[in-house]
Structures are given as C-alpha cells and as structure tokens.
Amino acid sequence: KPLRYAIVGLGYYAVNVILPQFANCRSSRVTGLVSGDPAKARRIAAQYGVPERSIYNYQNYDRIADNPDIDAVYVILPNSMHAEYTIRAAKAGKHVLCEKPMSNTAAEAEAMIAACKRAGKKLMIGYRIHFEPNNLNAIRLIREGAIGKLRFIDAEHGFVQGDPSKWRLKKALSGGGSLADMGIYSLQAARYLSGEEPNAVLARTSTDRTDPRFHEVEDLIQWTLAFPSGAVASCMSSYSSAHNHVRATGSSGWLDLDPATSYEGITLRRKTGDRTETVPAPAGPGKTMFAAQLDHLADCVASGREPIVSGEEGLRDMRIIEAIYRSAQTGRTVDL
C-alpha cells in the first residue's frame, strides 16, 4: 500500500524538484495539495491527477483530518512555517516529512517531535543527502578505514543571493541566513562523515550589514567543530559566494565530494598514496535521492521503524546551529 502525500507549499522546490519525483517512486503517491494560490493549485492538481476535493489552503488545511486519501504531508514552506504546519498535520492524524532546516529554533523542533509522538505519527526531515549514493559511499569508505584515521573535514556550501526582498533574507521567515539554509549541509556532512557528535564549536561571521541583502541575516559564517575522536571540522556557508564542496582527510588519504550535495552531478574522488581516482557511484537506495527519500517514509510507516533522518536528528542540528550563532555573537567557544 503506497504512502499518499499532500504537498504543503507550491514554491520552487515543491514544484520543480519534488513533484516530478513521484514518477520515480516505488511506494509514494501525491494525492493532495496545500497552497495559498488556488489557480496554481488547480493547474498542478490537473497535472498530477489530484482531485479538486483534495486541494486545501492554509486556512482549511486542518480539514485534511477528514480526507482518507491523505496519509502524510510534505512541508515545503519557508522555514518559520515548518513547526506550525507539522504540528497541525500531526493533530490531523497525518505523518510528516518536513524540509530542512527543521524549524527556526530548537524549542520549535522539540514541540514538533512532541506533537508527532502524541499523535503516534512519524516525523522525518528532508535530509536528501542521506539517500545519495556518493555521500553514502564516502561514509562507508571512511568507516572501512579507506583514508586511515579521520583527522579533518572541510565543508563549504553557498550561493550568491540576489533580491533582498526574498523570504530567505527575512529573519522572521528564515530563522537565519546562509547557515540556516546552506550551512546546515556543511554541518550535516561533518556529522555523517565523522559519525560523531561535536563537543565544541567556535564560529565567526563576515557580513556587510550595509548590503541591503544582509540587513537581517548573516552572509558568510565559518565555524570549527571539535569531535571526541580528535577529528576537527572546518565548515562554512555563504550568501555572497558559491560553494559546494566537502573533503574528509585521514592519516592515509582523502575523499573529496565536488559538488557534494547539489541536485545533480555529485562526484566522489579518492586519494591514496600518490593516486587520485574518481570513485564510480554505486547503486543508491532509489532511482534518485529524492525518490528514495519519499519512499523511506513510506517504508517506515509500513514497518513501524523510525526514519533514519528523524525529528531527533533535525533537533540535533538545530541545537548545534543555535550554538554556532551564540559562538559567533560572543566570539567564544561554546561547549556542546
């Protein structure tokens, strides 16, 4: 029995990236839409065979409770809306896949976890890279000792922001600047490649506050994570320069992902001794990382297992993100 999703929010990522991916899914279907724009919702509903009665807006959203054709929602709204639309879905008796970053604050993330637990519903965060074959291969190779003892991770993510009026540059809607949007990929990479939880963070930002794009949120932010094994990660994100690169260096070589997390073209290279080679991508857990992500929640609902990228996993990042901001503000190391 497939998992039937309502997509909440019909912006760029929902319409151009996620909706076309249902065609690649094994056990996920789209059967509902939630949008503030009725004309857009009708057009997209027609395209994906979603019936008129399963189109909702932000006011009547709670009525999905009475729709037996919807099992789960996928929240693809601005970050500040993730908590509210997750909690309302749980109250309506639906499972939730929620985009990254999970929320604006760790407190909101805790409330989301509690609401889904109370309702007996699954909560999963849209960390698609956990379903991406090259990143999974890098994790496996590091665990197998392919680069010896892991010593250093370098993780960079960013793109150049344009229009200052966009929600990503409004703190109330985004929760933060490049860190909330892109730095979370650097943080995730440091955590999944090391397989450890950091015990300290030291951060600094470089933001031109006279630039109209950065009146409310940070531009460039750089932070160092210390891990219990002694491994160190240097992470950054930027809204004024383009980056998409991760490297893990150990006592006997390195693994390099370039690009590391983009929608397409992710490439893994490996250096051992004097030799550098491109590592071919193994078969992934689905036709694409996006389809594998959608089907993972379907499998978890069917089997009763917890998603590998659970609400708790999202909360861990939210706590570290808050510590990174605190460190940048105070100039001091924050212990985790």
Which residues are at the interface with ligand NAD (CB under 6 A)?
9-14, 36, 76-79, 99-100, 126, 128, 167, 173, 181
Please give the Cα distance from 112 to 146 (Å, whole number): 38
Q: Which member of 100, 122, 192, 239 is catalytic?
A: 100
Residue 146 CB, nearest distance to ligand NAD (Å)?
Answer: 27
Residue nearer to ligand NAD on the CB measure, 62 or 208: 62
Minimum CB–partner distance for residue 272 and ligand NAD (Å):
31
Query: Least CB distance from residue 253 to ligand NAD, whole Å?
Result: 29
Which of 185, 192, 239, 325 is flagged as catalytic? 185
Closest chain position to ligand NAD (CB): 11
Helix, strand, or coil here: 38?
A: helix
Q: Is 185 designated active site? A: yes
Asked if 7 and 30 touch (Cβ cutoff 8 Å), the reply is: yes
Nearer residue to ligand NAD within complex by CB, 126 or 183: 126
Q: Based on CB atoms, which residue is closest to ligand NAD, 12 or 152?
A: 12
What residues pair up with 277 in beta bridges, in sequence order? Answer: 270
What's the order of all strands across the beta sheet hosting 123-125?
55-56, 28-34, 3-8, 72-75, 95-98, 123-125
Q: Which residues of 235-267 are buried (b: 16+ CB within 10 A; e: fewer)?
A: bbbbbbeebbbbbbbbeebbbbbebbbeeeebe
Q: Of 57 and 329, which CB lies nearer to ligand NAD in the complex structure?
A: 57
- The stretches of the chain forming alpha helices (DSSP H) are 12, 38-48, 82-91, 106-119, 133-143, 171-174, 178, 184-194, 289-303, 311-330
Question: In whole angstroms, how close is the CB of 209 to ligand NAD at the nearest point?
Answer: 23
> Environment class of residue 319 by beta-carbon count within 10 Å: exposed (0-12), middle (13-18) or buried (19+)?
middle
Rounded CA-CA distance 25/176 in Å is 33
133 phi and psi angles, rounded to 5 deg: -55, -40
CB of residue 127 vs ligand NAD: minimum separation in angstroms?
A: 8
- Nearer Cβ to ligand NAD (226/289): 289
Q: Which CB sits closer to ligand NAD, 57 or 229?
A: 57
For residue 290, count other CB atoms closer than 10 A to its CB.
22
Residues 146, 141: Cα–Cα separation, whole Å: 5
Compute the least distance from the CB of residue 37 to ligand NAD, in Å. Answer: 7
At 273, list the tokens. 């001794």
Q: How far apart are CA 308 and CA 53, in angstroms?
A: 33
5 in active site: no
Residues tagged active-site: 100, 185
